[in-house]
């Protein structure tokens, strides 16, 4: 993974921004913003991974700080996004498996996945890796002029 991957990551992410409720961002994100996000994650000592096919980035996963307070230092939020041509092909599971392996090795205690609902595919992948649903917030975000519920799944290593 290099900062040069930011354009491909932005392309993948922006589909979710413009066409889905998966993220509550409403405007496409530029390459420079993605670089800033990668630097923030890596500066915190957390992984940002990419999946490649040939020379193409087809997905990515990363962990970010759960909260800023020092007492949360062993908790992270995990995220995975895939190019639409690589959904349901096992790429997301491969990324998550490696991400979780690295987090456990680094001494992270808990991984948290936030899911805009409904999203059966995301729920399945989290539960496949042992995450358990711990929260459900109704009407917690808004996208495309409708209120969206958000659930949180947690994995304790």
How far is residue 78's CA from residue 6's CA, in Å, rounded to a whole number? 18
Domain that holds residue 34: 3-156
Total structural domains in the chain? 1
* pLDDT tens figures, 85-125: 888 888 999 999 999 999 999 999 999 999 999 999 999 99
Crossing angle between the packed helical segments 6-19 and 31-43, to the nearest 10 degrees:
110
21: left (phi over 0), alpha (psi -120 to 50) or beta: alpha
The CATH number of whichever domain residue 123 belongs to comes to 3.40.630.30
pLDDT digits (tens, 9 = 90+) for 41-77: 999 999 999 999 999 999 999 999 999 999 999 999 9
Query: What is the pTM assigned to this prediction?
Result: 0.94
Q: Are 3 and 52 in contact (CB under 8 A)?
A: no
Give me the long-range contacts of 27-32 (CB less than 8 A, separation at least 24).
31/6, 31/7, 32/6
What is the per-residue pLDDT for 2? 85
The pLDDT of residue 90 is 87
pLDDT at 19 over 80: yes
Residue 140 pLDDT greater than 90, yes or no: yes
């Amino acid at each position: 993974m290099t900062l040069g991957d930011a354009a491909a990551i932005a392309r993948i992410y922006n589909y979710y921004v413009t066409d889905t409720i998966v993220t509550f961002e409403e405007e496409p994100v530029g390459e420079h913003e993605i670089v800033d996000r990668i630097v923030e994650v890596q500066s915190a000592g957390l992984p940002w991974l990419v999946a490649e096919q040939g020379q193409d980035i087809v997905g990515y996963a990363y962990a970010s700080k759960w909260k800023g307070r020092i007492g949360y230092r062993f908790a992270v939020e995990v995220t995975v996004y895939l190019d639409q041509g690589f959904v349901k092909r096992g790429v997301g599971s491969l990324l998550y498996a490696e991400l979780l392996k690295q987090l456990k090795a680094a001494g992270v205690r808990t991984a948290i996945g936030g899911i805009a609902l409904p999203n059966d595919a995301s729920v399945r992948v989290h539960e496949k890796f042992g995450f358990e649903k711990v929260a459900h917030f109704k009407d917690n975000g808004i996208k495309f002029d409708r209120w969206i519920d958000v659930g949180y799944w947690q994995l304790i290593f």
